[in-house]
Amino acid sequence: MPLIAHLVELRGRLLKSVIAIIVLFFIFFSVKEHIYGFLVQPLADILAEQGGERRMIFTALHEAFFTYIKVSFWTALFVAFPFVAAQFWRFVAPGLYLHEKKAVLPYLVLSPILFFLGGALVYYFIFPLAWQFFISFETPGGVGSLAVQLEPKVNEYLSLVMRLIFAFGISFQLPIVLTLMARAGMTTSQGLASKRKYAIVFSFIGAAIITPPDVISQVGLAIPIIILYEASIIAVRMVEKKSKSEDQAASGDEEDIEETDFNQA
């Protein structure tokens, strides 16, 4: 296929992905209050236990409007991830051999699953623990003192939530990336194992940069990354064993063919 045909195909796949994201954006913007309620639920549950009337605030006239736009857009990206991955697969699949398609297809299926698992982990486990930790520093008022009470800004809260959901989702792609690198000959299980201590250090550094400055969020992201790194080493070893078996089988077939040709001669 000529280069111009590849570019036309690529443009078509990108256009479909963009259209899907735009359509999802308008759909999610029409139900923005429900998305807001879902994202704020972990915090609302904790505040409800303490009683009293609690609220979120915005301090600029346009803040709530643009916050809903941002949340709708990031939600559209999150949900459209499998469709975009499928478009990428349909673009590269025609140029692959059958055995290459069989090798890559499981990763394409597993990638969205891991992405959603990362988002689910932070929403259902990390958020409740982290929010409970932060809210524990509220101080009731007394004689001669003022209460210290949380009044979160809606933009700051939702931006933090979406950033963490995407950070965990992307971090869970680590086994996919490392295993594909191993298939391409860019790394080995022995090399990954020898760099384990550096991976642990960088996991905590990356978690400290991405997450809020509390131990719960940082450890909550770093520990899964380390576990995924260890799982990647195991997966790479399995890939290496499978590749070695395939190479031995291929060399055996070549020897049989050469022996047959020699006998016929």
Evaluate whether 41 touches 133 at the Cβ level (below 8 Å).
no
Mean pLDDT value across the chain: 84
CA distance 128 to 56: 17
What's the rounded Cα separation, in Å, for the pair 19 and 88? 15
Q: Which residues have a Cβ under 8 Å from the Cβ of 259 and sit 6 or more positions away?
A: none
Rounded Cα distance between 98 and 104, Å, is: 10
In this structure, are residues 76 and 137 in contact, taking their beta carbons and an 8 Å threshold? no
What mean pLDDT do residues 206-214 have?
A: 78
Domain residues of the chain, as ranges? 3-136+152-258
DSSP state of 54: -
Angle (deg, nearest 10), helices 154-171 and 32-50: 100
For 62-80, the pLDDT digits (tens) are 888 999 999 999 899 989 9
Mind listing the pLDDT tens digit for each residue in 197-206? 999 999 888 8
Question: Which residues have C-beta within 8 Å of that of residue 24, sequence separation ≥ 6?
Answer: 75, 76, 79, 80
The rounded distance, in Å, linking the Cα atoms of 164 and 208 is 12
Tokens of 219: 């450890």
Report how far residue 120's alpha carbon sits from residue 130's, in angstroms, rounded to the nearest whole number. Answer: 15
pLDDT at residue 30, rounded to an integer: 94
Q: How confident is the model at residue 34 (pLDDT cuts 50, 70, 90)?
A: very high
Secondary structure class of 195 (helix, strand, coil): coil
On the question of pLDDT at 253 being above 60, the answer is no
Confidence of residue 179 (pLDDT cuts 50, 70, 90): confident
User: Per-residue pLDDT for 19 more than 80?
Assistant: yes
